[in-house]
Amino acid sequence: MLRQGVLLLLVVATAYAIVCPKGFCDRYECKELGDCEGRNGLVREKGGFCGCCDSCVVQLEEGEHCFDQVLVGVPPKTECKAGLICKSPEFICTKP
């Protein structure tokens, strides 16, 4: 079990290093966030790909689908608003 955990960590670290090489953010142009708050979003500092840019994370209401929160390796574009959790296997925002 420990061996599998260490292997998984090595794979994730290697993938991160390949996708986000040193100096990547220096060459990456950030997009404008637009009216993030008007879309019921929160600006997450350095929350974008490789931590280069700020991102807008739309806050989901109770009962809304939250499947994209479970995609590993991809910064989420949505999240359940404060006080809610993403319940699986339905992937719906609900109270804990």
Q: What CATH number does the domain containing 60 carry?
A: 2.10.80.20
76 belongs to a structural domain: yes
Distance, in Å, from the CA atom of 64 to the CA atom of 77, rounded to the nearest integer, reads: 14
User: Into how many domains does the chain fold?
Assistant: 1
24 belongs to a structural domain: no
Question: pLDDT tens digits for 53-82?
Answer: 999 999 999 999 998 766 667 788 999 999
61 belongs to a structural domain: yes
Is 43 strand, coil or helix? strand
SS3 content of the chain, % helix, strand, coil (to 5): 35, 20, 45
Q: What is the pLDDT of residue 95?
A: 97
27 belongs to a structural domain: no
59 belongs to a structural domain: yes
**Domain containing residue 72:** 36-94
Higher pLDDT, 76 or 19: 76
Q: Which of 91, 73, 96 is nearest to 8 (CA)?
A: 73
Q: What global pTM score does this model have?
A: 0.70
9: its two tokens:
């960590």
- The CA angle 23-19-46, to the nearest 5 degrees, is 65
